[in-house]
A and B are shown apart, each in its own frame.
Chain A
């Protein structure tokens, strides 16, 4: 096993273990902080795939932005420890159906991922991807890029409106 393979397993394990903690812990504060490590693991996986810009974005937006927002959101609630996320009773039938669906979807996806013939791009040594992403954003994906600014503007207006107490 070379270094990259070891790093891959390390980051995968990091993501999965902390992802499991997010789902199963009763303390939502712990869940929020575990999410940090799960996000970090994903950023590591991006780096291993030579998607350096994506990794930086992952760290900047998910860890630096969304996670801070989630932690603030958690701190806005009155009770942090011992919150039971489940509400109401979940019957055995529902769990059965959900479990069956999960297994079915997982099996289908695993089958598809292992057997399909995927499109393979020409393999060329990848340098920094930021250059290519920048050029694509400003030429071929220009409209999507400008539309994204409009999307952000709408999000700013909407978010500020909803979060505001009164006018």
Chain B
């Protein structure tokens, strides 16, 4: 029998997610009821997300294992949930201005509802402390994202993207659940806390533990598009609507990184006191090196292939793979500083990456193309947009005085502080390579095809305002970043129970 007081407390802490469920159903029903109004589901989704955000804010400082240890509510989860929530909000706003979505469908009811469904899945994933729960959450977000990736079904590459996403997703979640079953066989539990306890008392053979860990990592790696599991990324990013591409590159990754960090810290941390500096992991496996190798592969491949891309969405896809590599670098140090660096990086990454994708979307709205040559002379055709795009790209490249620089600074300093100088050097070399392809776009915008300056591109003031709302913080946080860093340092402790 269940402890009723635990249940009541759990339900009261489940308010953000409950709000999302109710929003999902309301958006669906009202969208069917009001056939005339085009974006009603979108407005309801925004309202629901705002309310969920308020409930989420109320959970500040709470550390609780809810629903019989299925879900953990802690400040780390709260931080990641805010990232997911903010990007969902921004993406819904972007979608109001997307021509490709509105041309393909008269109504976008399912689109907004599925975004809410995906947000719900990611909220669950961020808080999950049980392997079954992790699996259910990953499937919830995956199924929504498969449909969203192919939302403009009539476009051939969108259906292709959706199909590829489903097939790769099915394989990777199949491998993951196989890994989960092996881990269950070894430890006799699906609960991360119990797995931790079992591993700290009993001696488990290294090879099966390594194998099951790698298999589970393949599921997480698929979500963050880390390298051996990244094959779907370019095609899906290119084929999906720009809004969904942007969404997958930020929110999906945030949830993936959250579960990755939680899996290691909750499941494998050796809770001997006095090991606060670097996590001592259970089982005789050097996970630092496993993740570090993944990080090196991910960023190197992402950056080297991005250099050859001519389609902006593909270029940003490979760039997002590279960014996953930088983040994995911070994960690989396996201490709380690394967690803090991941959190800081995500805030800035969200701003700059969503901004860059929104510019791509606006250009595609006008010119119906995502080719990199379409950006020629943009500096003269639409000066404000070009300046904003430059800010986003410089930030993505990680140059001062932008927020991307601060993010990279914290990632690299956490790596160097832990003594992985070789990893930091590879990271810096990668950043240099990335500078090339980001600078290529900036060069196209200002130094190419200056004659076309006559044909100005006019964008509505609202869209320009949205771009500015992302570009100004990207710059501002590059100079004044203390609040974000303080927030991240406050949130870096993943709750591991007592």
Direct A–B contact present (CB less than 8 angstroms): yes
Which residues of A line the B interface, CB within 8 A? 108-109, 111-112, 115-121, 139-144, 147-148, 150-151, 153-155, 157-158, 161-162, 167
Check B188–A151 contact: CB distance below 8 A: no
Is B113 part of the binding interface, using a Cβ–Cβ cutoff of 8 Å?
Answer: yes
- How many interface residues does chain B have, given as a range? 35 or more
Closest to B1 in A: A139
Q: Told that A144-B136, A151-B140 touch, could you supply 9 new A-B pairs with CB distance under 8 A?
A: A109-B211, A116-B185, A116-B205, A141-B132, A153-B25, A153-B117, A157-B147, A158-B147, A167-B107
Across the A-B interface, the 3 shortest Cβ-Cβ residue pairs? A119-B188, A158-B147, A139-B2
Which A residues lie within 8 Å of B205 (CB)? 115-117
Closest to A112 in B: B208
Is B133 part of the binding interface, using a Cβ–Cβ cutoff of 8 Å?
Answer: yes
Within 8 A of A (CB), among B389-430: none
Which A residues lie within 8 Å of B66 (CB)? 143
Check B187–A119 contact: CB distance below 8 A: yes
Check B143–A158 contact: CB distance below 8 A: yes
Check A148–B150 contact: CB distance below 8 A: no
Which B residues lie within 8 Å of A154 (CB)? 24, 114, 117, 121, 140, 143-144
Which B residues lie within 8 Å of A120 (CB)? 188
CB B128 to nearest CB in A, in angstroms, measures 9
CB B239 to nearest CB in A, in angstroms, measures 15
Which B residues lie within 8 Å of A150 (CB)? 21, 24, 117, 120, 140
Closest to B209 in A: A116
Which B residues lie within 8 Å of A118 (CB)? 185-186
Among B25, B70, B137, B162: residue with most chain A CB under 10 A: B70
Check A153–B24 contact: CB distance below 8 A: yes
A150-B120, A161-B110 as given contacts; A116 in contact with B71, CB under 8 Å? no
Is B276 part of the binding interface, using a Cβ–Cβ cutoff of 8 Å?
Answer: no
- Selected from B70, B105, B188, B211, the residue in CB contact (under 8 A) with A141 is B70
Among A112, A147, A158, A162: residue with most chain B CB under 10 A: A147
Cα A167 to Cα B67 with chains together (Å): 40
Check B132–A142 contact: CB distance below 8 A: no
Is B28 part of the binding interface, using a Cβ–Cβ cutoff of 8 Å?
Answer: yes
Chain B, 131-153, contact with A by CB distance < 8 Å: what is the 0/1 string?
A: 01100110110011011001001
Check B186–A116 contact: CB distance below 8 A: yes
- Selected from A111, A147, A167, the residue in CB contact (under 8 A) with B124 is A147
Check A162–B208 contact: CB distance below 8 A: no
Cα A139 to Cα B21 with chains together (Å): 21
Which A residues lie within 8 Å of B147 (CB)? 157-158, 161-162
Which B residues lie within 8 Å of A162 (CB)? 147, 150, 153, 162
Is B106 part of the binding interface, using a Cβ–Cβ cutoff of 8 Å?
Answer: yes
CB A147 to nearest CB in B, in angstroms, measures 5
Cα A117 to Cα B7 with chains together (Å): 36
Closest to B130 in A: A144
- Selected from B106, B136, B182, B184, the residue in CB contact (under 8 A) with A148 is B136
Which B residues lie within 8 Å of A155 (CB)? 143
Which A residues lie within 8 Å of B121 (CB)? 151, 154
Cα A162 to Cα B151 with chains together (Å): 8
Is B68 part of the binding interface, using a Cβ–Cβ cutoff of 8 Å?
Answer: yes
Cα A144 to Cα B121 with chains together (Å): 12
CB A158 to nearest CB in B, in angstroms, measures 4
Check A139–B68 contact: CB distance below 8 A: yes
Which A residues lie within 8 Å of B146 (CB)? 158
Check A142–B67 contact: CB distance below 8 A: yes
Check B143–A151 contact: CB distance below 8 A: yes
Closest to A135 in B: B1
Check B105–A143 contact: CB distance below 8 A: no
Check A144–B132 contact: CB distance below 8 A: yes
Cα A155 to Cα B117 with chains together (Å): 10
Closest to B150 in A: A162
Chain B, 146-164, contact with A by CB distance < 8 Å: what is the 0/1 string?
A: 1100100100000000100
CB B244 to nearest CB in A, in angstroms, measures 13
Check B188–A121 contact: CB distance below 8 A: yes
CB B32 to nearest CB in A, in angstroms, measures 11
Cα A117 to Cα B204 with chains together (Å): 7
Is B457 part of the binding interface, using a Cβ–Cβ cutoff of 8 Å?
Answer: no
- Selected from B2, B71, B136, the residue in CB contact (under 8 A) with A151 is B136
Check B133–A144 contact: CB distance below 8 A: yes
Which B residues lie within 8 Å of A108 (CB)? 207, 211
Complex A-B: 25 CB contacts under 8 Å? A109-B211, A112-B208, A116-B185, A116-B186, A118-B186, A119-B184, A119-B188, A139-B68, A140-B68, A141-B68, A143-B14, A144-B136, A147-B124, A148-B136, A150-B21, A151-B140, A151-B143, A154-B114, A154-B143, A158-B147, A161-B147, A162-B150, A162-B153, A162-B162, A167-B107
